[in-house]
Structure 1
Amino acid sequence: MDILITAGGTSEKIDNVRSITNHSTGRLGKIIGEAFLAQGHHVTYVTTAQAVRPNEQQALTLLEIETTKDLESTLIRLFEEKNYDAIIHSMAVSDFTTETAFSEEQFIQQLAEKLMIDSSTSMSDLEQTLKTVMNEVGQTSQNQKKIPSNTDRLLLFLKKNPKIIAMLREKQPQAIIVGFKLLVAVSEEELITVGQGILEKNHCDFVLANDLTKITQDQHDGLLIAADGNLQKAHTKAEIAQLIRKNIEEKWRNNR
């Protein structure tokens, strides 16, 4: 089988020396990749510089990305080159990317210039002016290679990233798709409900739902939710990896 795995966590640049990222280490993705490699499958592994990854070997293709935009363009290129038997999207993708950044002084100055209007302005007009200003400020290019640190506050404007998982079924209709959803301190019922919502919305075959409070160095509780409603539990990263591998292999054989 040709397997595509995304793992690790994307970073979004603030300037040339700073970025916003998450705490994903890629450990689970690494173990999943190794589980498929051990069975003789070819794995294309898309990851980030800070994440762990499987050891280099003949059946492994390693690709490194940084931002969500990098990930999107890399996947589109890969999808144009090949049809994958399965896609395991375990990467922690940043929900937002930096649009621009301002020091407190710069923002106040630009806002004040725009708001020097007659005091009789109605509330609705003022709200519209504020929205216009925010839009203009957000579209201001951040050209500084390193933003000066001589300000008490740094204002970051963030804009929503595209949902990578939303394009997988459209681009690879034949693939078995596994999505991931991480929540924090929720009941199992909520974990299942949210996982099923991700599965249905993005037309996945499986979703691995997990709770951050139940992940430690030795423990990783995961719930694999299938499109047919079947639920399977695992309690370590190795168990999750084998659970995903076995379900994908079984579904792939049945689809042939």
Structure 2
Amino acid sequence: MNILITAGGTSEKIDNVRSITNHSTGRLGKTIGEAFLAQGHLVTYVTTPQAVRPSSDSNLRLVEIETTNELESALLDEFKHQTFDSIIHSMAVSDFTTEATLSEDDFIEKLAAKLTTDDSLSDLANLTEELYHSLDEISKSIQQEKKIPSKTDRLLLFLKKNPKIIAMLKQEQPHTILVGFKLLVGVSTEELIQVGQSILVKNSCDFVLANDLEEIRGNQHKGILIDSDGQTETAQTKNEIAQLIVKKVEEKWRNQ
């Protein structure tokens, strides 16, 4: 089988030395990648600079990205050149990216200058509309500094939504066996399964691995694999999760 795995966590730049990221190490993705490689499958492994990665293997090809936009571009490029029997999308993708950064003083000055030029702003509806319009304009300010000065007491970050990578995977590779992942924190098993099923249906996944951050510590990593029929299987470690995913993907591929 030809497998694509995404793993690690994307980062979104604030300036040339700062970024917003998450705590994903890529350890689960690494374990899944090594499990597929052990079965002789070809693995294209898309990951980030800080994440761990599978041991070197003749069937392993690494693709390194950093931001969500880079991830989207890399995947679209891969899809132009090959078809994947399965995509394991375990990467923690940032929901938002930085649109602009402003010091408190710059923000107040820009907003005040904008609002004092219009006499109609005594009306609440007009004021509200103008505030939204002003924020939109300010958020599009071009970032001039390669490193934001640290002298400001407050730094305002304007964030905008990133594209949902998982939503486009089946669109681009309609026959792939898609495994999605959902991480929640401190929820019941019932809620974990319910949310996992909603992700599966929304993104046309074949399987979703739902897990709770509070159930991940040391060698323990409880995960619930949900299939398109609503059936579930539970694993207790990263290795068990990896073996379960490989088994289920291979079975589905053979039965197609």
TM-score by length of 2: 0.98
Q: What secondary structure sits across from 2:243 in the alignment?
A: helix
Change (3 A) 1:120 1:21: closer
> Which SS does the other structure have where 1:235 is aligned?
strand
Q: Give the match for residue 56 of structure 2.
A: 56
Question: Aligned runs of 1:198-237 on 2, under 5 Å?
Answer: 198-237=199-238
Task: Name the structure 1 match of 2:36.
Answer: 36
Distance 2:134 2:12 in 1: 24
Report the alpha carbon displacement of residue 55 of structure 1 after superposing the two structures with TM.
1.4
Listed as ranges, the matches of 1:1-256 within 5 Å are 1-116=1-116, 117-118=118-119, 121-255=122-256
Output the amino acid matched with 2:209: L
Question: In 2, distance between residues paired with 1:100 and 1:119?
Answer: 28
Cα distance in 2, alignment partners of residues 120 and 5 from structure 1: 53
Residue type at the aligned position of 1:52:
V
For the Cα contact (< 8 Å) 2:17–2:147, is it kept in 1?
A: yes
CA RMSD of aligned residues (A): 0.8
8 Å CA contact 2:115–2:121 kept in 1: the answer is no
Identity %: 66
Q: Which moved more, 1:53-62 or 1:114-123?
A: 114-123
Q: CA deviation at 1:218?
A: 1.3
Deviations 1:181-232 (A, max 9, x none): 0000000110011000000000000000000000001100000000011100
Displacement after TM superposition at 1:119 (Å)? 7.6
- Runs of 4+ displaced beyond 4 Å: none
SS in 2 for 1:102: strand
1:126-145 CA-to-partner distances (Å, cap 9, x unmatched) read 00110010000111111210
Amino acid at match of 1:188: T
Hey, what's the Cα distance between the residues in 2 that align with 1:141 and 1:126?
25
> What is the aligned residue count?
255
Offset at residue 120 of structure 1 (A): 6.3
CA distance in 2 between counterparts of 1:189 and 1:230 reads: 13
Q: CA deviation at 1:253?
A: 0.4
Q: Distance between the aligned counterparts of 1:35 and 1:165, measured in 2?
A: 22
State the Cα deviation string for residues 170-189 of structure 1 (Å, max 9, x = none). 00011000000000000011
Can you give the 5+ residue segments of structure 1 that lack an aligned partner in the other structure? none
Point out where structure 2 has 5 or more consecutive residues left out of the alignment: none
Cα distance in 2 for partners of 1:120, 1:84 equals: 56
> Given the superposition, is the C-alpha separation of residues 172 and 120 from structure 1 closer, same or farther in structure 2, using an over 3 Å criterion?
closer
For 2:63 and 2:42, the matched residues in 1 are separated by 14
